[in-house]
Structure 1
């Protein structure tokens, strides 16, 4: 079954509209399907089955939204990115989320390996991509996205997330050839975040073999029916 996962980018307790990873420019969400930018009110109104949460305060070392995320996790299945950099971060995230997201932007390959061993099947790896390259500080992951996908086949993780940061919040569309290559190489289910415009893109993703999509802008804009995220 194709998964449509609702995205909440949380900054200072508000759900914000993430655009191209330019965090300094994020503003509270403007939605056609909900008249609030408060995450709990949005989740209560939209009733998504599965939620991807990025704690932007924690990612930028400004504090955290852990108590809020814990409340959201009581209402829906959650996967959460807090910008984990060590196992202490992973354990903290595991306490408030169903699945811990380790993004290449902040996590090392060693951390991914250790976390996957300690939380088998409880880790998602987000391959953060900017300008076609893996966004990472770890020399061990400085490779083409397809090469990293292949490397991660040896780890006991749940999903791989292909997060195209330059497309986030833009409705710029999807690169089907690139995604087909990822799906062919990966032993894990593949989720896509960034650039998804509407149901046409969702149907195209299904055809490429992608297992799910992370969506926010298309839901708030009314291009994806609410029943599909429930």
Structure 2
């Protein structure tokens, strides 16, 4: 199991995501460092966990269609040795490629995440089938798919690395959803890396997620409380076998 730290970005700051209620997200108050500066918090998460992968949710891109390209560029160029999983509301493959091209050689560190909340249509998902870097996010809030294109109903098109994004658990402190992921795994045997999200409170929750079939888990809130054991990235040695395949 690999822990992947998350930074939720809104208007140039890191915000505290809670249950997918985005209108209520406020600048984060982290025990790791003062303020909500993305670069400072990225460094703090790397120092705490020793991770080689960071996940960026660019909410300006997801909600407004205006990715924070300059900020994303600063982050990726500051740590080109990391893998940067980035969801910026990409509607089609070309949207993500524009960012990667703009980064030059640093663009090799970008792993684009395409959410069902944002993908334009089935054709957009079909176009990703031959992209070994692409990651699919099956987005859900309040137990309902966020899926205007009906992509939850196309399990044969789900990508080799697929995230189960249960937004109602994000920042909830309610524990991870351990039922949805096993049910989805049965529908898509071609998926080789399943990534959970939301609800993780402590390392024992990661173990429970692994038992439910997850290969990695996205974690944010629990890392900012000051109670997460330093260096505890479960399965860190497996990073080259999950997120690492996109390098």
Which TM-score tier does this pair reach, normalised by the shorter chain? Answer: 0.7 to 0.9
The Cα RMSD (Å) is: 2.1
Counterpart of 2:128 in structure 1 is 115
Counterpart of 1:16 in structure 2 is 15
Q: CA deviation at 1:135?
A: 1.0
Counterpart of 1:77 in structure 2 is 83
Corresponding residue to 2:135 among 113, 116, 124: 124
Asked whether 1:27 is paired with 2:26, we answer yes
Higher relative contact order (CA 8 A, sep 6+): 2
Contact 2:20–2:141 under 8 Å retained in 1: no
Residue correspondence of structure 1 range 46-195 to structure 2 within 5 A: 46-47=45-46, 48-61=51-64, 63-74=66-77, 75=79, 76-95=82-101, 96=107, 98-107=110-119, 108-117=121-130, 120-138=131-149, 140-141=150-151, 143=153, 148=154, 150-153=155-158, 157-186=159-188, 187-188=190-191, 189-195=193-199
Q: Residue 176 of structure 1: SS of its match in structure 2?
A: coil
Given the superposition, is the C-alpha separation of residues 71 and 216 from structure 1 closer, same or farther in structure 2, using an over 3 Å criterion?
same
Q: CA deviation at 1:142?
A: 5.7
Q: Structure 2 regions of 5+ residues with no counterpart? A: 102-106, 237-247
Encode CA deviations 1:108-151: one digit per residue, 9 max, x unaligned.
2211111333xx2111100001233321111x4364xxxx4x32
Given the superposition, is the C-alpha separation of residues 83 and 205 from structure 1 closer, same or farther in structure 2, using an over 3 Å criterion?
same
Contact 1:219–1:226 under 8 Å retained in 2: no
Q: CA deviation at 1:223?
A: 4.0
1: CA distance, partners of 2:59 / 2:209: 27
Contact 2:12–2:38 under 8 Å retained in 1: yes
TM-score (norm 1): 0.85
Aligned length: 218
TM-score (norm 2): 0.80
Q: CA deviation at 1:82?
A: 0.8
Q: Residue 128 of structure 2: SS of its match in structure 1?
A: helix
Q: Structure 1 regions of 5+ residues with no counterpart? A: none
